Amino acid sequence: MSTPNSERKSLVFDAIFGFVGFFAFLAFIQAVLNLFQPEPRIWPALLALVLVIATVTLWRIRRRWHRPE
C-alpha cells in the first residue's frame, strides 16, 4: 500500500512531467512553423530540443522509479 507521502510525490512528479511535456509540444509546433518563414531562426528549434530532451529524461526517470519488482 502506498503512503500518502509517496502518492503526493508521484502526483507532483506527474504534474511536472505534464508541464514540461505540454511546453515541449508547443515548442515543437513553433519550431515546425518556423521552418516555413522566409528567414527561419535557430532558437525555436533549440528550445524544442531542450524541452523534448527534458521530457524524455523525466519519462525515463518515472519509468525507472515505478518499475514493478
Quote the pLDDT of residue 9.
86
Quote the pLDDT of residue 2.
63
- Cα distance between residue 30 and residue 26, in whole Å: 6
pLDDT tens profile 17-52: 999 999 999 999 999 999 999 999 999 999 999 999
Q: Minimal CA–CA distance to 33: which of 20, 44, 19?
A: 44
Residue-range domain boundaries for the chain: 23-69
Instruction: Please report where in the chains the cell 511535456 appears, as a residue.
Output: 21
Per-residue pLDDT, averaged over 51-67, amounts to: 90
Quote the pLDDT of residue 42.
95
